[in-house]
Amino acid sequence: MDTMRKDGRRAVISAFDSGSRSTAATRPEPALTMAQLRKIALNSQWDVLGG
C-alpha cells in the first residue's frame, strides 16, 4: 500500500508471508489483511510523525 500525504510525504506499507518476496509463503493466511494495511497507510498519525 503506497500513499501520498497532503504535504508530499509518502507512507508505504507492505507485508510479506515469507522471509522475502522471492520465496514461497510460510503461512496459510497473510498476517494482515488488505483492509488492515489500508487502515495503517491512511491513518492520520502519519501527518503527526516527522512534522
Q: One-letter amino acid identity for 40?
A: I
pLDDT of residue 51: 57
pLDDT of residue 25: 86
pLDDT of residue 17: 83
Tens digit of each residue's pLDDT (9 = 90 or more) over 1-51: 888 888 888 888 888 888 877 888 888 888 888 899 999 988 888 878 765
The Cα-based distances of 50 to 3, 10, 19, 45 in angstroms read 16, 12, 29, 10
Cβ pair 17, 28 in contact under 8 A? no
pTM given for the model: 0.67
Cβ pair 31, 15 in contact under 8 A? yes
